[in-house]
Amino acid sequence: MAHPTNRLYRLRSRPRGKVRDSDLEWLEEPVADLAEGQALIRTLYLSLDPTSRVWMSSTRGYMPPVELNAVMRGVGVGQVVESRRDDLPAGSFVQGFTGWQEYCLADASDLEASFTVLPDPLPAPLHTFLGVLGHTGITAYLGVEIGDPEPGETFVVSAAAGAVGSIAGQLAKQRGAQVVGIAGGAEKCRYVVDELGFDACVDRHADDWRDQLDKATPLGIDVDFENAGGKIMDHILGRLNVGARIPLCGMVADYNNDDEEAGHAGLPNLNQLLMQRVQLTGFIVSDHVDRFGEIIGKIAVALEEGTLRYEETVVEGLENARDTLNTIFSGGSRGKLVIKVGDPES
């Protein structure tokens, strides 16, 4: 097969604040010949995640930073177009670390780049395997399990209109909790209450967001599904009840805050973890690969029964990935944010 040209992003420098064109260079390169034990995968959808921004920085994370000049790391779904690997047959649809590129050479010896073959026929649209049936849906499920809300308890989730938060709040509601979301803007708050069925939603852009949160949580907070960090987390800490639980999922407010002098104001209410005897559990979805099948199965049943709603923001064109990533930090999207890279071959 004549090899196509690859289009991809290489990380040239570590961003400070917004990702600039010079941080992430958009290039065309030839695709190398396939060696024994390799498969060529064409990316069809690429997931854009807050953690993409963490991987670009030198922050000590749960995975090493992307090396300078390497192809940008990213999770995608794709189709195997040519294969010298028995486990990845040509034509199959796969999910894994495709990177921010149109074509990915999947080498069997590269564990970080291991791929999962998706079921045939596909039970749901391809891109859902990056969202509600992928890592963000699983993250929501795991965090709710850790927070373990009881009927009548108050459950608060930040980034509530986003990929993880929208699912987490609905799962907590199904357990009988009083669910309060926090989202950016009146329209997102309307969506969270009217369409997702949360009991209330606080607009984090409103001047009185602290008052809104206090009014929405008159009995205090029992579970904080924490996605934001920063001043939102600090205010929540000040309202936790004795024995509260915090599934610490993310701290998106910190991810593009690279100026150590200006940022990281800290959490003055941290002492409430002690005073209220709070259980805080940091968790990372990729530590629970052994449970992915079970959890995806449960979410798939809820989707089929119509008891769980999800939304996706699909942006066309890999060349738009860099600018679109920046919109995560201005709260530009609703539900799971994915880039459509191409159409499958029939």
Ligand X SMILES: NC(=O)c1ccc[n+]([C@@H]2O[C@H](COP(=O)([O-])OP(=O)(O)OC[C@H]3O[C@@H](n4cnc5c(N)ncnc54)[C@H](OP(=O)(O)O)[C@@H]3O)[C@@H](O)[C@H]2O)c1
- Shortest Å distance, C-beta 338 to ligand X: 10
Q: Is 84 exposed, middle or buried (0-12, 13-18, 19+ CB in 10 A)?
A: middle
Query: How would you label 95-126 residue by residue, b for 16+ Cβ within 10 Å and e otherwise?
Result: bbbbbbbbbbbbebeeeebebbebeeeeebeb
Distances (CA, A) of 180 to 166, 188, 200: 11, 13, 5
Both tokens assigned to 72: 């940008």
- For residues 230 to 269, the per-residue mask of contacts with ligand X, x marking binding by CB under 6 A and - elsewhere, is x-x----------------xx-xx----------------
Which of 150, 130, 109 minimizes the C-alpha distance to 43? 130
Select the residue interacting with ligand X from 44, 328, 339, 341 (CB under 6 A).
Answer: 328
User: In whole angstroms, how close is the CB of 229 to ligand X at the nearest point?
Assistant: 7
The answer to whether 144 contacts ligand X (rule: CB under 6 A) is no
Segment 151-170, which members bind ligand X (CB under 6 A)? 158-159, 161-165
Q: Smallest gap, in angstroms, from Cβ of residue 65 to ligand X?
A: 15
Query: Please, what is the minimum distance in Å from the beta carbon of residue 297 to ligand X?
Result: 19
Asked if 285 interacts with ligand X (CB under 6 A), we say yes
Tell me how crowded residue 332 is: count the other CB atoms within 10 A of its CB: 13
Q: Is residue 139 at the binding interface for ligand X, with CB under 6 A as the rule? A: yes
Instruction: Determine what percent of the chain falls in helix, strand and coil, rounding each to the nearest 5.
Output: 30, 25, 40
CA 144 distance to own-chain centroid: 15
Rounded to a whole number of angstroms, the minimum distance from the CB of residue 255 to ligand X is 7
Give the shortest CB-7-to-ligand X separation in angstroms: 24
Which among 67-75, 112-120, 289-297, 328-336 is the span making contact with ligand X, rule CB under 6 A? Answer: 328-336
Residue 59's SS3 state is coil
* Residue 202 near residue 181, CB atoms below 8 Å: yes
- The answer to whether the Cα torsion of 287, 74, 51, 244 is positive or negative is negative
Alpha carbon distance 238, 240 (integer Å): 6
Contact assessment for residue 276 and residue 110, using Cβ atoms and an 8 Å cutoff = no
Closest contact distance (angstroms) between CB of 136 and ligand X is 5
Contact, 271 vs 240, CB < 8 A?
A: no
CB of 131 to ligand X, least distance (A): 9
**184 scored as a contact of ligand X (CB under 6 A):** yes
Site string for ligand X, 67-106 (x = CB under 6 A): ----------------------------------------
- Using rule CB under 6 A, residue 280 touches ligand X: no
Nearest by Cα to 72 from 29, 106, 23, 20: 23
Among 97, 209, 292, 329, binds ligand X (CB under 6 A): 329
Given a contact cutoff of 8 angstroms between Cβ atoms, the answer to whether 336 and 136 are in contact is yes
Number of residues that bind ligand X (CB under 6 A): 33
**Residue whose CB is less far from ligand X, 6 or 136:** 136
Q: Which is nearer to ligand X, 153 or 226 (CB)?
A: 226
Q: Which residues are near ligand X by CB under 6 A?
A: 49-51, 135-136, 139, 158-159, 161-165, 183-184, 188, 204, 227-228, 230, 232, 249-250, 252-253, 283-285, 328-329, 331, 333, 337
